[in-house]
Amino acid sequence: MDALTRILAAIAPGWAASRVAGQARLAAAQRLYEAVKITAQRPRRGGPQSSDAVMDAAKGNMREFARHLDENHDLAIGVLDDLVTNIIGAGAGIEPLAVRGPNREPATDLNRQLADLWAEFWLSPEVTGELSGPEVERLLCRSWLRDGEVFAQHVIAPIAPYATRVPYALELLESDFLPYDLTRPDSRVTHGVQKDGWNRPVGYWFSKVHPGNQTFNLQSSELVWKPADSIMHLKFVRRLHQTRGVSIFHGVLTRLDDLKDYEESERIAARVAAALTAYIRRDIGLAAETVVAGEDSETTSVRTFAMEPGLVFDGLLPGEDVGTIDSKRPNPNLEQFRNAMLRAVAAGTGTRFSSIAKNYNGTYSAQRQELVEAVTHYRRLFDYLRARFYLPVWKRFVDASRLAGLVRIPAGVDQMSIYRPEVRPPNMPWIDPLKEIKAYQGMVESGFRSRHQVIRDLGSDPATVDAQLEADPLDIRPAPKQVEMMGPVAAPKTPDEENKDNQDELEEAA
């Protein structure tokens, strides 16, 4: 309390209290973050809108923009290819892990039966019969990331276009089938999705025909209601309570579009520069004297000559010389600028710069660090697909197989274990195979990981590998080693020593 306030407190306590309160409000206002102060240079950004309100403003525009880039921009195609390749690869590996008895022994015969039946079903799992299982995975993943969402319907009916013995199939639906403009607050319908009081989907209103189809008309625009338990809604969201998905390109759409325009401009400038060669420069005074002296004005004003290698041109008149055009093209800074933009795109989409830019310069340690950081993002996206796509499909596949009498569950088998298969993502690629093999070997010999788990990490089936090794007369597997106690820990190597060792091993491997 300052001196004036103390004096006022003795004379007029109410005024003193108001003064103290005002000083407190002023001090609180001064403690605000300077970054959020609204000025002419920094206008207000963002707003209090909910996630559904934001998506209502975007509607399908973001999805259409992302599709345009996927259809016309090589860099956007590369981003999606990198994501799909690292999330799905050649297809997820699914291995049944049914167990029996209190000791949880593997039900080997049942697991083999389920695996064989799944392999047959996954050859043609969708209703059109045009796509194999791995292709279904890749298209679903690409549509999910590019459009922000995709739908798949479980089809289990006595009469349906099944391509295998299993009476179950998938119907794939693009996000266009669910209209954005269908919102009915009285029925709890938001953007075509009907929800209950807990904001949980209970049904979806789909168009019978794709709205972008040429045969779409008023009759075909009729909507049909599908219960939520028959629909898989894969959506990429950034906020809570978000009903519809957002494209993974949402933060880099403008950057990619500007980069596309910039590269096209540079390419056109380079083409124009390649067509320009040289010109004749004249001294106006000497050219006028030549005309006065009797030279033909037409021959001195308009002349052409063909450029060719080794050309010696001696037709210049007094006051003339040949000038060349320097267009500064191709732009020597284009690659550096492009790489900077692609690094920003990689950060915004969770991809690897070296993969989307096809720039693999760098040490082993740098490439390994980039790979490790990106794989965490890829695995997170795959975990979502495992929970929202693979496991629901597996559950209905097992139920349909049991109802059709294709699978019989022996007594003593844990019923829940039948629905919990191991769903493996594609194995992480190798930068240096020799280092990776040594690392796996060290983990197995030290007891940190089993040999079967390593085989699964590499994308193979342990039972199949063991059977092939037993049938191979040249089985060169080493005998199990006794785990020894670790000796003194060596001092860590410097980055220069590490890079030198990596380079030596790469040369030996080559």
User: Minimal CA–CA distance to 114: which of 475, 437, 474, 406?
Assistant: 406
**Token pair 């989409």 is at which residue?**
349
**Residue 132 neighbours by CB distance under 10 Å:** 15
Rounded-to-integer distance, Cα 252 and Cα 67, Å: 14
Give the tokens for residue 450.
């089993």
pLDDT at 122: 96
Q: What integer pLDDT is reported at residue 489 of this predicted model?
A: 44
Specify whether the CB–CB gap between 46 and 53 falls below 8 A: no
- Predicted confidence at residue 287, as pLDDT, reads 54
% helix / strand / coil in the chain, to the nearest 5? 50, 10, 40
Q: Residue 130: what are its φ and ψ, rounded to 5°?
A: -95, -20
Angstrom distances, CA of residue 282 to CA of 286, 317, 493: 8, 9, 68
Counting DSSP H helices and E strands in the chain, the numbers are 19, 13
Q: By the 8 A CB rule, do 51 and 241 touch?
A: yes
Q: pLDDT of the chain along its 510 residues, tens only?
A: 677 777 767 777 777 778 777 777 666 655 666 767 778 877 877 888 999 999 998 888 999 999 999 999 999 999 999 999 999 988 898 989 999 878 889 898 999 999 999 999 999 999 998 999 999 999 999 999 999 999 999 998 766 668 889 999 999 999 999 999 999 999 999 999 999 999 999 999 999 889 888 776 656 578 999 999 999 999 999 999 999 999 999 999 999 999 999 999 988 888 888 776 677 777 776 655 555 454 555 454 566 667 677 777 777 777 777 777 777 777 888 889 999 999 999 999 999 888 888 888 767 777 777 877 888 899 999 999 999 999 999 999 999 999 999 999 998 999 999 999 999 888 776 667 787 888 888 999 898 888 888 887 777 778 778 878 878 776 666 655 554 444 444 555 555 666 666 666 555 555
| pTM score, whole prediction | 0.77
Q: Per residue in 96-112, is it b (16+ CB within 10 Å) or e — as a string?
A: bbbbbeeeeeebeebbe
Helix (H) or strand (E) holding 262: helix 253-275
pLDDT of residue 302: 61
